[in-house]
Amino acid sequence: MTLAPEPAVVILSEASHALGRRIADAIGGELHGARARTAHVDVAFDETRAHLAALFSAGRPIVAVMAAGALIRILAPLLADKHSEPAVVAVSEDGASVVPLLGGHHGANDLARSIAAALDAHAAVTTAGDVKFGVALDQPRQGYVLANPADAKAVMAELVAGAKAQLEISSPQRGEGGAIAPGEGAAPDKVGRLAPSSGPSDHLLPAGEKGRPPLAAWLISSRIPFAEDGTVTLTVTDRPKHAGPLELVYHPKTLVLGMGCERHASSEEAIALAEQALADSDLAWQSLAAVASIDVKADETAIHDVAAHFGVPARFFSAARLEEEAPRLQNPSEVVFAEVGCHGVAEGAALAGVGPSGDLVLPKIKSKGVTAAIAHSAAIVDPDTIGRARGTLYVVGVGPGADQWRSPEVSAMVSASTDLVGYSLYLDLLGPLAKGKTRHDFDLGKEEARVVHAMELAGEGKTVALVCSGDAGIYAMATLVFELFDKGGISDAASRIEVQVSPGISALQAAAARIGAPLGHDFCTISLSDLLTPWEHIQRRVKAAGEGDFVIAFYNPVSMKRRTQLAYARDKLLEYRPASTPVILATNLGRPGEHVRTVPLGSLNVDDVDMLTVVVVGSSESRTVTTGDGKTWVYTPRGYSGKAESGMKIETKG
């Protein structure tokens, strides 16, 4: 899954913190601050120029609370293709002025207006079309797609120079029963604009749509001068159309493609049938708002591949909801009813998607294992208001706790989530990133309950982050997710969700980084908790790791009641490695109270270890070294030292 880039709100001093946080909250952004001069930010950085360059290169929208000139000088060497550059907005430190610098028609102007509204400030939009007409023709309103964006510059230049425009709106004509009659198409209505003071009028509507909001209201309400003989043409149509000279073609999102399929149907077959459906009905694929189906197909790859092919979301309805559409179906089927509980999937899903005011414009067609139908709505279809999404579960590891140790992917997944599930301490570690999310807090010992809850929330169509400390796949919740898929214990909806696991820095890695490089050669991890693993199995693993001379990271070394296991491990390992072997004790890594120290294996005291400590025991080859600043480090040679000492020739390749 590709995650939409979250705006980065960049501040350079603590004096700008309140303003930056206010902006970030208003636009759903992430607060980035200079580490040396700010605190309590979502992301801290060391060098401003490098950080801004990295954000820009990654395509992140940037809102910087700093001088516009300084921001321009930093980004100037990176400017290349204006069509691919992200939005860049500068905000004055007093919050009075908001200036879109780059990507004006690709989000910056709208971003600036949103920020200005939140701050009661001035959005200094300077692009000609926005200033003169109050609209950017190459950035249509949500629910519309511009078919020929390359022509927008010439059209806008013509209008700015004084030309007038004519507006054409067309929609499918319906034959008997609401479907497009054979051989019929759409009759375009060429309309002229009323005087600006008169406002939108029914005469600007397609035939048969009187009394409804104009399909092109965002154009009609602009300051563009319309006339019947305008030299510029603005066309709004859900049919394919090649643009003529000085014409822009906009496709409104008014169509829903309903689909049904056999289990594990071919994606290629499904895409081919979907394209055939659009061709047969002479409708533009750009006007598709969603692909819809029954909820038992929520995990069907073919359905999602069709949606991805057209760049629209997939939405799903229950059999009961689809059965409500039975009176409007043109091809009801008792066989389908017996199979899934409704009389039609493709037609029913298309009709459910457009609602009671919509019509079926292409009855069901089918191939070997797939069915398809198309319905049309008189108004823009918002896919977020129809059916439900498949539901997504992000299983994320937030690392030991420090913001700088949380991966950008994890931060993006948490930001994209509607709900957060986890142990309360782990959710607290997210800090401001959790703001605005619905929290579902669980006690430490409720692992399976929290995983089931997270999966069921996703089964409702929500986007959920299951938050783990360290790495989600190392003694954490990722394994429980797949165990529930395997063994059951969750609803059918929860069993069909999408899952993504994102790695985090484990306590093992964090401890190693703090003390040097103890993992320079073979290592293993062993949990000393016998809650899930029989003690005799743990003993066998400790013995095997000792015999194999592995560096060992012990997780769950002690608890309030369990105090003997670590002592056993120490004594057993002393049979295989010297008492001087370095042992790293790392407590509260990346959090207040962090304490990392090294003791000899022979002197390891169980009372020095608590539940928040990871214990890393070196191998017989691990050693310490003290640098000039007096700091002692632990490292494990990569294996060459023993070979060299035995006189073995070491070959290197240059």
pLDDT at 67 over 80: yes
pLDDT at 207 over 50: no
**624 closest CA partner among 613, 616, 612, 632:** 632
Query: What's the CA angle centered on 143, arms 139 and 149, to 5 degrees?
Result: 35
pLDDT at 198 over 60: no
Percent of the chain with pLDDT over 90: 68
Tell me whether the CATH fold assigned to 255-385 matches the one assigned to 508-641. Answer: no
Confidence at residue 559, expressed as pLDDT on a 0 to 100 scale: 83
Higher pLDDT: 248 or 402? It is 248
pLDDT at 475 over 60: yes
Q: 255-385: what CATH class? A: alpha beta
Q: 8-126: what CATH class? A: alpha beta
Q: Which of 260-269, 476-485, 532-541, 643-652 shows the lowest mean pLDDT across its residues?
A: 643-652
Average pLDDT score, the chain: 87
Strand order in the sheet with 247-252: 144-146, 247-252, 232-237, 165-170, 189-191
pLDDT at 548 over 80: yes
Percent of the chain with pLDDT over 70: 89
Q: Which of 204-213, 295-304, 471-480, 549-558 shows the lowest mean pLDDT across its residues?
A: 204-213
Which CATH number fits the domain 392-505, given the four candidates 3.40.50.300, 3.40.1010.10, 3.90.1150.10, 3.65.10.10?
3.40.1010.10
Confidence at residue 338, expressed as pLDDT on a 0 to 100 scale: 95
Fold of 508-641: 3.30.950
Question: Residues 476-483: what's their mean pLDDT?
Answer: 95
Give the distance from CA 121 to its chain's centroid: 30
* First-residue to last-residue Cα distance in the chain: 40
Residue 219 is which amino acid? Answer: L
Confidence at residue 640, expressed as pLDDT on a 0 to 100 scale: 58
Q: How confident is the model at residue 200 (pLDDT cuts 50, 70, 90)?
A: very low
Q: What is the DSSP letter of 629?
A: T
Domain boundary assignment for the chain: 8-126, 144-250, 255-385, 392-505, 508-641
Confidence at residue 501, expressed as pLDDT on a 0 to 100 scale: 97
- Phi-psi region for residue 220, left (φ > 0), alpha (ψ -120 to 50) or beta? alpha
Q: What is the DSSP letter of 197?
A: G
Confidence at residue 389, expressed as pLDDT on a 0 to 100 scale: 95
Confidence at residue 515, expressed as pLDDT on a 0 to 100 scale: 95
Residues contacting residue 78 through CB under 8 Å, at least 6 positions apart = 53, 56, 57
Question: pLDDT for 275-301, tens place per residue?
Answer: 999 999 999 999 999 999 999 999 999
Higher pLDDT: 109 or 314? It is 314
pLDDT at 442 over 80: yes
Burial of 338 (0-12, 13-18, 19+ CB in 10 A): exposed
pLDDT at 183 over 50: no
Residue 390 is which amino acid? Answer: R
Q: Which of 62-66, 79-83, 419-423 shows the lowest mean pLDDT across its residues?
A: 79-83
Question: pLDDT for 510-527, tens place per residue?
Answer: 999 999 999 999 999 999
Question: Residues 172-188: what's their mean pLDDT?
Answer: 39
